Amino acid sequence: MNKKNLVFIVITIFMLSLFTAYVSGKDAVKIPKKVLKLEKKADKAKNKKDFDKAIELYKNAIEIFPDYSKVHYKLASIYAFNNKYPEAIKELKIAKKLDNSDINTTKALSDTMLKYGNNLLKLRKLKEANNVYIDMLGIDGFSKLFPKLQNKMIYRIGLNFFSLKDLKNSEKYLSRFINIENAENDYPGIFPMANYISGINNSTLKNYELSNKLLKKYIALKSDDQANKYISFARYIIASNDFTVLKPMVTAIKKTTNRKNIKENKKKIKALAEKYIEIETNLKKVIEKAPQIEDAYVILGNYYYLKNDTTNCLNIYKTLIEKFPTSKDIDIYKEFLKGIKKSK
């Protein structure tokens, strides 16, 4: 072996001694020896709970070699332990990007984001919590690792949007949850409420038929719970939806009424109102179980008025005035009652 070849071999061995192989995904990445030493020192500081020193050392290692996912992971663990969730999430996202195959990183990222979102939720920062939860749903591999948690988060996001009065986004996530295969059996604790809230959303969004379907589902699921206050409100919303649909149809018939067809049109209105008899059925149950719902009397009275049942209309409005004497609409009720008496 000549001198030149020997020198080349010596230099090559020396250079290789400065590096060690770190396997990341499919490819082996060369980690500088200095980085490994800094990592070791940081690990010792971390074990001694000298977190400031550990953070400094991990950051030094990252500065030299930013593609070492393990150091990002370890740095994130300190941040998470000290409830510095945004910092921890940032480092875990980098670690996952560098090594997407590491299940532990996916689990740590999911767990950290869940804790951060729940912490924001406790502080009533619903919008911020939802941003974190939605981000969590987008983690590659999250759905496979945590399918049940994913579904619960979909419900939670919908519920938060409902509280924020963002009904379109609320409905987007709640409908997604409701349509999950076997959701009724797998999530008996939250599935009924998902139907209830989605029913209210769709009522406000003027999707009355879907609203009624969802609310009837809720009532069927909770029918054995006699003390459930939401059942009465669900019945009230169903009746309100039906009345909202019925009213313009009756008004249209009345607009075409003249001396010649008055009797015929009264029959049409009565027949039409009979198709919506559930308005009366539901509101009577509401008044029985939740007599404090003022609008239940109003809608029922107006229903009787539409179908020309003046006797029942008078009785309901008399009860309404007696029961809610301090109502802001009391004068309107009284004037309406006078008009009914005159027409009768």
Q: Which two tokens stand for residue 164?
A: 């924020």
Asked whether the domain spanning 256-344 has the same topology as the one spanning 22-140, the reply is: yes
127-182: pLDDT as tens digits: 999 999 999 999 999 999 999 999 999 999 999 999 999 999 999 999 999 999 99
User: What's the average model confidence in pLDDT over 59-83?
Assistant: 97
pLDDT of residue 3: 47
- Determine what percent of the chain is predicted with pLDDT higher than 90: 82
Distance CA 127, CA 144 (A): 26
CATH T-level topology, domain 22-140: 1.25.40
Name the band, by pLDDT with cuts 50, 70 and 90, for residue 121. very high
Name the band, by pLDDT with cuts 50, 70 and 90, for residue 224. confident
Distance of CA 83 to the CA centre of its chain: 24
pLDDT of residue 229: 85
pLDDT of residue 8: 38
Name the band, by pLDDT with cuts 50, 70 and 90, for residue 226. low
User: Other C-beta atoms within 10 Å of 215: how many?
Assistant: 27
pLDDT of residue 344: 65
Helix (H, G, I), strand (E, B) or coil at 21: strand
User: What's the average model confidence in pLDDT over 89-112?
Assistant: 96
Distance CA 53, CA 91 (A): 17
pLDDT of residue 259: 84
Q: What is the mean pLDDT of the chain?
A: 90
185-202: pLDDT as tens digits: 999 999 999 999 999 999
- Backbone angle region of 240, left / alpha / beta, with phi > 0 → left and psi within -120 to 50 → alpha: alpha
- Each domain of the chain, given as residue ranges in start order, spans 22-140, 256-344
- Backbone angle region of 182, left / alpha / beta, with phi > 0 → left and psi within -120 to 50 → alpha: left
293-314: pLDDT as tens digits: 999 999 999 999 998 899 999 9
How far is CA 206 from each of CA 161, 194, 275, 316, rounded to the nearest angstrom?
18, 18, 20, 27
Tell me the CATH architecture of domain 256-344. Answer: Alpha Horseshoe (1.25)
pLDDT of residue 42: 95
Query: What ranges make up the beta strands (E) of 25-104?
Result: 27-32
pLDDT of residue 27: 37
